[in-house]
Amino acid sequence: MIELLPERRRRRTRIGLVAGGLGTYWPQFPGLLPQLQESARYVSQRLKDMDAEVTDVGFISDAQEGAAAAEELRRADCDLIVLFLTTYLTASMVLPIARRANTPVLVIDLQPTEKMDHASFDTGAWLAYCGQCPVPEMGNTFRRAGIEFRSVSGWLRQESAWRRIGRWIRAAHVRAALRHARHGLMGHLYPGMLDVSTDLTLLPATFGSHVEVLEFDDLRQRVEKVTEPEIKARVDLAREVFTLDETVREEDFAWGATVSVALDRLVEDFELDSLAYYHRGLDGEQHERLAAGMILGASLLTARGIPASGEYELRTTVAQLATQAAGAGGTFCELQALNFEDDVVEMGHDGPAHLALGARDPLLRGLGVFHGKRGWGVSVEADVRPGPVTLLGLGQDRDGSLSFIAAEGAVVPGPLLAIGNTTSRVDFGRDPGEWVDDWSASGVGHHWSLSLDHRAADYRAAASLLGIEFRQV
């Protein structure tokens, strides 16, 4: 499926790197600086291996060089700055970097090996191991300056330390995706869903992203230009991706393929990173037909890393984009039922699914009616493969602030609904009714993103970089 549906490539995450130590030491201990610079080169390469564009401004030895590094990093527009304390250095060398770049900072101190050789070490050798010495100084200075402090301490090739660093780099991927995202919002609110309503100013104000308000006529105009060869090519692609149920009618299949081609064009023309949509329609008119034909194309877009969700769920497409950027996918979800015999929560949604997350080939099923919505046509029936999963929702509180809300569980095998929905059975290790009560009290809203693996720590880190609250149920 990866070959058939290549993932959308976006602006690469930008990581700034600056290493430093106190220049007073260099003439006193001639071998120290080359050793520390070699460690800095190793750190730079490890960061590049994390699918990031690294702006390495080199090694600073005094406050003047720190100020110059701050200016270079400010121009680089980084998503995260990594400050490598190789040995002791003063806070005056570091604070300008944190203040002027206007970018979240991660402080790391990685000594050369697990421990010193006390019998053979002199002062110069010891200084290569005291990168942790200034960490409390930095923490206090950051606090007094009103800057959030984050740090990872360890040794240079300690994989557990690099896993912690990797968590912050994944968080930077999320920040990068949301900072530069263009979210499409097409149609109108599902009537009565007050929780779904979102203040459109909040996204650019909180993340820096853009919301493009679209009409279904923007899609209609593109549907009218789809050619027969394009329809045939999209039908052929869908036959490779999906298993077709006998309920699929050829005319509905062709219409879904037509809308899918037009959706791709809409996404390209408006450079969209996500799309939330809904249209009620009336008596089979053109806009109702467009809404009924969305699911095939929206699922294909979601599989390429461009989440497309129904019910006008802008905040959930943001959550899906966040989980996608973290490398965990993300399928549109809501509560469906509780199983008190197996102690599982059944969740999923009709409509678009993230095809790459499934345990089996997705099924294309024909429907005479969509529950709670006008329309007909083809729908996607899929699941999420068994194993650890994390839910992520984007909540909006009374004061208008946004928050990440997460819960970790495990998808377990068992019977699933066969009604054209994405469905998964999730075990949270507790009574499902009590879990629903706590989840509902978190402020999460009607829908969320269901992503692979246990990623709450990643999403907590992403919330930190984005400057929003994080809650875990």
Res. 364: pLDDT tops 90:
no
* Residue 47 sits in the same domain as residue 132: yes
| 53 occurs within a structural domain | yes
What's the rounded mean pLDDT across residues 179-207? 91
- Of 371 and 148, the structure prediction assigns the larger pLDDT to 148
Res. 373: pLDDT tops 60:
no
* Residue 313 sits in the same domain as residue 378: yes
| pLDDT score recorded for residue 420 | 64
User: What three-state secondary structure class fits 320?
Assistant: helix
| pLDDT score recorded for residue 180 | 95
Helix axes 216-223, 250-270, angle to 10 degrees: 110
* Residue 369 sits in the same domain as residue 226: yes
CB 462 within 8 A of CB 404: yes
Res. 244: pLDDT tops 80:
yes
Lowest mean pLDDT among 138-152, 193-207, 438-452: 193-207
Res. 41: pLDDT tops 80:
yes
The label of the residue with tokens 């629903």 reads 436
Domain termination site, one of 152, 178, 204: 178
* Residue 219 sits in the same domain as residue 303: yes
Res. 369: pLDDT tops 90:
no
- Of 35 and 377, the structure prediction assigns the larger pLDDT to 35
* Residue 187 sits in the same domain as residue 273: yes
DSSP 221-274: HHHTT--HHHHHHHHHHHHHHSEEPTT--HHHHHHHHHHHHHHHHHHHHHT-SE
* pLDDT band, residue 375 (cuts 50/70/90): low
| pLDDT score recorded for residue 107 | 98
| 280 occurs within a structural domain | yes
Cβ neighbours of residue 398 closer than 8 Å, sequence gap 6 or more = none
Q: Rounded to whole angstroms, how far apart are CA atoms 74 and 18?
A: 12
CB 360 within 8 A of CB 384: no
What's the rounded mean pLDDT across residues 356-362? 78
| 253 occurs within a structural domain | yes
Q: Rounded to whole angstroms, how far apart are CA atoms 448 and 13?
A: 24
Cβ atoms < 10 Å from Cβ of 316: 31
Domain termination site, one of 148, 178, 208: 178
Res. 353: pLDDT tops 80:
no
* Residue 100 sits in the same domain as residue 112: yes
- Of 282 and 85, the structure prediction assigns the larger pLDDT to 85
Residue type, 399: D
* Residue 249 sits in the same domain as residue 276: yes
CATH number at 193 reads: 3.20.14
How far are the Cα atoms of 148, 225, 246 from residue 463, in angstroms, in the given order? 12, 42, 45
| pLDDT score recorded for residue 2 | 54
| pLDDT score recorded for residue 351 | 65
Helix axes 159-179, 456-466, angle to 10 degrees: 50
| 193 occurs within a structural domain | yes
CB 81 within 8 A of CB 43: no
CB 297 within 8 A of CB 305: no
Q: Which of 10, 311, 433, 39 is nearest to 31 (CA)?
A: 39
* pLDDT band, residue 416 (cuts 50/70/90): confident
Q: Rounded to whole angstroms, how far apart are CA atoms 44 and 374?
A: 54
| pLDDT score recorded for residue 368 | 63
| 7 occurs within a structural domain | no
| 3 occurs within a structural domain | no
| pLDDT score recorded for residue 1 | 58
Structure pTM? 0.93
| 332 occurs within a structural domain | yes
Torsion angles phi and psi, residue 310, rounded to 5: -85, -170
CB 124 within 8 A of CB 93: no
| pLDDT score recorded for residue 352 | 74
Q: How many domains does the chain have?
A: 2
Q: How far apart are the two ends of the chain, measured CA to CA in Å?
A: 33
Phi-psi region of 143 (alpha: psi -120 to 50; beta: other; left: phi over 0): alpha
* Residue 67 sits in the same domain as residue 216: no
The two beta strands, 274-278 and 80-85, are unpaired
* Residue 205 sits in the same domain as residue 89: no
Lowest mean pLDDT among 107-111, 344-348, 414-418: 414-418
CATH number at 74 reads: 3.40.50.10940
| 260 occurs within a structural domain | yes
Domain termination site, one of 178, 208, 229: 178
- Of 347 and 284, the structure prediction assigns the larger pLDDT to 347
* pLDDT band, residue 417 (cuts 50/70/90): confident
Torsion angles phi and psi, residue 168, rounded to 5: -70, -30
Cβ neighbours of residue 6 closer than 8 Å, sequence gap 6 or more = 304
* Residue 342 sits in the same domain as residue 462: yes
The label of the residue with tokens 């929206």 reads 298
Domain range for 445: 180-472
Q: Rounded to whole angstroms, how far apart are CA atoms 59 and 65?
A: 8
Res. 320: pLDDT tops 80:
yes
* Residue 313 sits in the same domain as residue 417: yes
How far are the Cα atoms of 185, 216, 265, 293, 423 from residue 223, in angstroms, in the given order? 18, 10, 9, 11, 30
Residue type, 193: M
* Mean pLDDT across the chain: 92
What's the rounded mean pLDDT across residues 55-72? 96
* Residue 153 sits in the same domain as residue 297: no
Percent of all residues in the chain with a pLDDT value above 90, rounded to a whole number: 76
Res. 202: pLDDT tops 60:
yes
Q: Rounded to whole angstroms, how far apart are CA atoms 320 and 392?
A: 8
| pLDDT score recorded for residue 340 | 96
